[in-house]
């Protein structure tokens, strides 16, 4: 029984991994089930055993791939920084500034789906809103910690800052994708640094 469960889990992961790459590259509507299956070692029957419809796959992609990716890329690393503002800047430079330009030109997987699918499917819209709200909430937890520890000014509304940071991250990706150039990151990064200086106590 355990072996069967592990096999089903591996099958699901293989499909989701292949789907993520195809959809990130070509968009959800630009990819068919056949396209995704062709990138795996599986049959179409195995696909439909896991995901009755393509929309079910898309929903799972948000919940099982993109949301965990937010945790690994943007939230969990902040645990290593006493000052969360330093951690946010460091992750931004690592995940955006040092990212392969070819990948950056494709945009952000989350933002791409927000732009493409939120206006036309409520299932996607709800799940994408949940992912964004989750990101803001977890970012706020670290900002509140930083404020308690004296790194953010007392009059700063950390929830508003969390909203702004997530908005800025998604905006960075969108502008880089729109302009087709990763060179604009330096300008965006410096603007974020100036903003952080304004809300910081400059405690070392």
> Whole-angstrom Cα distance, residue 187 to residue 193?
10
pLDDT score of 129 more than 90:
yes
Instruction: Among 11-20, 167-176, 182-191, name the most confident range.
Output: 11-20
- At what angle are helices 2-26 and 109-117 packed, to 10 degrees? 70
pLDDT of residue 181: 83
pLDDT score of 90 more than 70:
yes
> Whole-angstrom Cα distance, residue 55 to residue 59?
6
pLDDT of residue 188: 86
pLDDT of residue 32: 97
pLDDT of residue 184: 86
pLDDT of residue 15: 97
Give the distance from CA 138 to its chain's centroid: 13
pLDDT in tens, 144-158: 999 999 999 999 999
> Whole-angstrom Cα distance, residue 42 to residue 130?
31
Task: Please compute the mean of the pLDDT values over residues 8-34 and round it to a whole number.
Answer: 95
Q: Is the dihedral of CA 44, 49, 50, 52 positive or negative?
A: positive
pLDDT of residue 180: 85
pLDDT in tens, 65-87: 999 999 999 999 999 999 999 99
Task: Please compute the mean of the pLDDT values over residues 120-127 and round it to a whole number.
Answer: 97
Q: What confidence tier does 204 reach under pLDDT thresholds 50, 70, 90?
A: low
Closest-CA residue to 189 (of 166, 169, 163): 169
188 DSSP 8-state letter: H
Of the listed ranges 27-31, 128-132, 181-185, the least confidently predicted one is 181-185
Q: What confidence tier does 6 reach under pLDDT thresholds 50, 70, 90?
A: low
> Whole-angstrom Cα distance, residue 131 to residue 125?
10
Token duo for residue 174:
């969108």
Task: Please compute the mean of the pLDDT values over residues 106-117 and round it to a whole number.
Answer: 95
pLDDT of residue 50: 95
Q: How many helices (H) and strands (E) does the chain have?
A: 11, 0
Beta carbons within 8 Å of 33's beta carbon, 6+ residues apart: 44, 47, 54, 57
Q: Write 170-174 long-range contacts (CB < 8 A, 24+).
A: 170/108, 170/110, 170/111, 170/114, 172/92, 172/96, 173/96, 173/104, 173/107, 173/108, 173/111, 174/107, 174/108, 174/111
Q: What is the mean pLDDT of the chain?
A: 93
97 DSSP 8-state letter: I
Q: What confidence tier does 5 reach under pLDDT thresholds 50, 70, 90?
A: low
């Amino acid at each position: 029984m355990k072996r069967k469960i592990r096999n089903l889990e591996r099958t699901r992961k293989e499909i989701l991994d292949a789907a993520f790459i195809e959809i990130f590259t070509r968009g959800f509507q630009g990819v068919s089930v056949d396209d995704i299956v062709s990138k795996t070692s599986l049959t179409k029957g195995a696909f439909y055993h896991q995901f009755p419809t393509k929309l079910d796959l898309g929903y799972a992609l948000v919940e099982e791939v993109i949301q965990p990716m937010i945790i690994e890329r943007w939230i969990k690393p902040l645990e290593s920084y006493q000052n969360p503002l330093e951690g946010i800047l460091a992750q931004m430079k690592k995940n955006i500034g040092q990212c392969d330009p070819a990948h950056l030109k494709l945009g952000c997987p989350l933002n791409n789906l927000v732009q493409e699918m939120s206006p036309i499917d409520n299932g996607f819209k709800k799940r994408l809103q949940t992912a964004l709200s989750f990101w803001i909430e977890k970012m706020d937890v670290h900002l509140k910690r930083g404020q308690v520890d004296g790194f953010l000014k007392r009059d700063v509304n950390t929830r508003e800052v969390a909203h702004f940071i997530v908005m800025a991250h998604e905006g960075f990706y969108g502008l880089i994708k729109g302009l087709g150039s990763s060179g604009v990151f330096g300008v965006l990064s410096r603007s974020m640094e100036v903003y952080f200086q304004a809300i910081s106590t400059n405690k070392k």
